[in-house]
Structure 1
Amino acid sequence: MNQDSMEFVVYMIHACANKWNLSPKQVYGKLQETGCIDEYLVPNYDILHTQGSAYLVDDIREYLRIRGVKI
C-alpha cells in the first residue's frame, strides 16, 4: 500500500463511519474482517478514488452486505 492508497482508505473509513454512525475503529474492523481493504479498496484504488464518496460508501456497504455484515 502506498501513501495515496493509504490516505484514500483512511478517508473512506471516516466517510463510512460518519454515514453509518459508527466509530472509525468499528468500520476499520468490519473492513478488515471482510477483506475490503486488502482485496477491494487498495487493489482498485486507481479507479475507486475517482468516484464520489457517497457512491463509494454505498458500494462498500454492498460489499459488506454480500459478505454477511450488516450495517
Structure 2
Amino acid sequence: MKEEILNQEVFSFIIYMIHACANRWKKTAAQVYFALKQSGCLNHYLIPNYDILHTQSTDFVVKDIEEYLVKKEVIV
C-alpha cells in the first residue's frame, strides 16, 4: 500500500481536526490522536480524502469522524 506524504496543508488540517474533535468530545488531543491512529482514520480516511474534506465545515468533518470511529468500534 502506498503511504501518503503529508504536506504542510494536510498536516495543518489533521492537527486542526484533532483539536476540533478533542474540544467537542472533551478529550485531550493525545486521546483523539490515538483513537484516530488506532482506527485507521488518519491514514485511510482523513489524509487520502483531504482534497474533499478540507472544503467541508468543521462540524461536518467531526461528525464524519465520529461515524468512522463507531464503524471501527473505537471508543475515545
- The normalised TM-score by structure 2 is 0.90
Structure-2 separation of matches of 1:7 and 1:30: 18
Aligned to 1:28: 33
Aligned to 1:14: 19
Cα deviation, residue 69, structure 1? 1.5
**Quick check: which one's helix share is greater?**
1
Aligned to 1:59: 64
Structure-2 separation of matches of 1:43 and 1:15: 19
Aligned counterpart for 1:5 among listed residues 7, 10, 17:
10
Between structure 1 and structure 2, the one with the greater Rg is 2
**Identical counterparts, % of pairs:** 51
SS class of match (1:63)? helix
Aligned to 2:3: none
Runs of 4 or more above 6 Å deviation = none
Q: What is the root-mean-square deviation of aligned Cα atoms in Å? A: 0.8
Aligned to 2:45: 40
The letter for the 2-side match of 1:70 is I
Cα deviation, residue 70, structure 1? 3.0
Does structure 1 retain, via aligned residues, the 8 Å contact 2:22–2:28?
yes
Query: Structure 1, unaligned stretches of length 5 or more?
Result: none
Aligned counterpart for 1:68 among listed residues 55, 58, 73:
73
